Structure 1
Amino acid sequence: MEPSILRRAVEAGRATASELGLQVDDVVVVHNSDRVALRLVPCEVLARVAPLGHLTDSEFEVEVALRLADVDAPVAELDPRVEPRVHVRDAFAISLWTYYQPVGSEVTPADYADVFMRHHAALRRIDLDAPHVTDRIAAALREVEDRQKSPELTDPDRELLGGALSGPSAAIGTDKAGDQLLHGEPHPGNLLNTRRGPLFVDLATCCRGPVEFDLAHAPDDVGKHCAGADHDLIHRCRALNWAMFSAWRWRRDDQMPERDHWRVEGLDQVRAALDRCGTG
């Protein structure tokens, strides 16, 4: 978020928590993109604050969290001291979550695979209306194909991303018999190592598709610990995931920090992933 909007988002998160009886003496910006995550001190709440245009996504994330909490999934939980819902204030949608202090070192591939499989087992136990991954792919492709939405994307790179989004998506969209609910983006940045063990966060990306789509977000070695995984499909999904990531970065209104770096890095990763699965 731009500085002026970020200040309003911080105040909206602080004021919402304070009015609900939580003590807020300080606010620490944990993550700043098109949505922000704020650590509220000393009540130890993580406030997720998004522009009101993301209200539906925020409400969906809360619903996913509530369903998964009922089946003991290894995910971050909403703060139990307040009503589990999305609050609206000053054109922002605000949800309040338990803050987990990160501990220890990086999660090992074996432990990553363990929490990954436990999470997907929990996802199979809930009934939730969620979009298919091909819906997300189609949305990213529209951003790439619309020059007004991605005006700085060069023609060769536009062709690269268009092909990367349309090719592998056909492979995962034809046979849906093995599809299930997915996290959507279970990459290392969305896995916290806490005193409770590793927990997945950022649940708004929950969707339906093959498990390999989620595995493609994890480090390479994680898939080796997941019996029955289709490694060729993982490679194709990894190219697809990087293509979607790049499509979002080339949006005219994208606000990810260090966007220029990630624009270049994303395209490089797409090329590398396509070469790896033999479609470059």
Structure 2
Amino acid sequence: MEPSELRRALEAGRATASELGLQVDDVVVVHNSDRVALRLIPCDVLARVAPLAQLADSEIEAEVARRLTDVDAPVAELDPRVDSRVSVRDAFAVSLWTYYEPVDAEIVPSDYADALLRHHAALRQIDLDVPHFTDRVAAALGVVDNRERSPGLPDSGRELLSGTLGGLSAAISVAKTDEQLLHGEPHPGNLLNTRRGPLFVDLATCCRGPVEFDLAHAPEQVGRHYAGADPGLIHRCRALNWAMFSAWRWRRDDQMPDRDHWRVEGLNRVRAALARCEPG
């Protein structure tokens, strides 16, 4: 968020927690992007504050967290001291979560894979109406194929992304593989290392598809520790995921930090990932 919007978001997080009876003497920005994560002190709550346009995503995330907590999934939990609903304040959607002190150690691939296995097992115990992964691909294609939405995308990049998104989405869909509820984006930035063990966050990206779609977001070594995963399918899903990532960066209104770098790097990552896929 821009500085002026960030100041309003901080105040929205502080005021929401205070109104619910939590003591807030200080606010620390943990993460700032299109939405912000704030540590509220001394009540030790993590406030996630998003523009009101993301209210639906915030409500989905809270609902997924509630259901997964009930089945002992390795996920970050909503703060149990307050109402778990998403609050609206000053054009922001505010949700309050348990704050987990990070452990200063890398999550080794075997522990990462174990957390994802347990997360997938928990997801099989709940029922949610979520998009198929191909719906997300279609949204990315809508950006690539519309020059008004991606005016800076060069023709060579547009051809690369369009072909990759359309071709791999179809190929993965017809593969004979089981599908289930997925996290959607379980990359290292969405996995906290805590004293309770690894916990997944950012739960609004749930979708349905093969587990390899999730594994393609994790470091490559993780898939080798995940029983029954198809290495070839992971490679195809990784190329598809990089193509979606790249498509979002070329949106006219994308606000990711270092966007210009990632526009170029994203296309390079797509080409590198495609080179590792089997012929055809």
Aligned equivalents of 1:176, 1:10: Cα separation in 2: 48
2:137 paired with 1:144: no
Q: Which is further off, 179-188 or 245-254?
A: 245-254
Q: Which is further off, 154-163 or 207-216?
A: 154-163
Aligned residues: 280
In structure 1, runs of 5+ residues without a counterpart are none
| Superposition map of 1:116-127 within 5 A | 116-127=116-127
Question: Is the CA contact (8 Å cut-off) linking 1:103 and 1:194 kept in structure 2?
Answer: yes
Match of 1:264 in 2: 264
**1:43, CA displacement in angstroms?**
1.2
> What TM-score do the two structures reach when normalised by structure 2?
0.97
Residue 101 of structure 1 aligns to a residue whose secondary structure is coil
Q: Which is further off, 231-240 or 167-176?
A: 167-176
> What TM-score do the two structures reach when normalised by structure 1?
0.97
Match of 1:226 in 2: 226
Question: Is the CA contact (8 Å cut-off) linking 1:113 and 1:223 kept in structure 2?
Answer: yes
**1:42, CA displacement in angstroms?**
1.4
2:186 paired with 1:186: yes
Match of 1:166 in 2: 166
> One-letter code of the match for 1:17?
A
Residue 93 of structure 2 aligns to a residue whose secondary structure is strand
Aligned equivalents of 2:236, 2:158: Cα separation in 1: 19
Question: Is the CA contact (8 Å cut-off) linking 2:165 and 2:243 kept in structure 1?
Answer: yes
Q: Deviations over 1:82-139 (max 9, x none)?
A: 1011111111111111111110311001111111101100011111111110011111
> One-letter code of the match for 2:61?
E
Residue 225 of structure 1 aligns to a residue whose secondary structure is coil
**1:172, CA displacement in angstroms?**
2.2
**1:176, CA displacement in angstroms?**
7.4
Q: CA RMSD in A?
A: 1.4
> One-letter code of the match for 2:33?
S
**1:177, CA displacement in angstroms?**
6.0
Aligned equivalents of 1:85, 1:143: Cα separation in 2: 33
Aligned equivalents of 1:117, 1:107: Cα separation in 2: 15
| Superposition map of 1:88-107 within 5 A | 88-107=88-107
Change beyond 3 A, Cα 1:8–1:176 = farther
Q: Deviations over 1:169-225 (max 9, x none)?
A: 002223576110000000111111101011011101011100000000011111111
Match of 1:205 in 2: 205
Residue 88 of structure 2 aligns to a residue whose secondary structure is strand
Q: Deviations over 1:27-86 (max 9, x none)?
A: 111111111111111111111111111111111111100000000000000011110111
Aligned equivalents of 1:73, 1:104: Cα separation in 2: 22
> One-letter code of the match for 1:233?
L
Aligned equivalents of 1:161, 1:240: Cα separation in 2: 9
Aligned equivalents of 1:279, 1:141: Cα separation in 2: 23
Residue 193 of structure 2 aligns to a residue whose secondary structure is strand
Question: Is the CA contact (8 Å cut-off) linking 1:176 and 1:209 kept in structure 2?
Answer: no
In structure 2, runs of 5+ residues without a counterpart are none
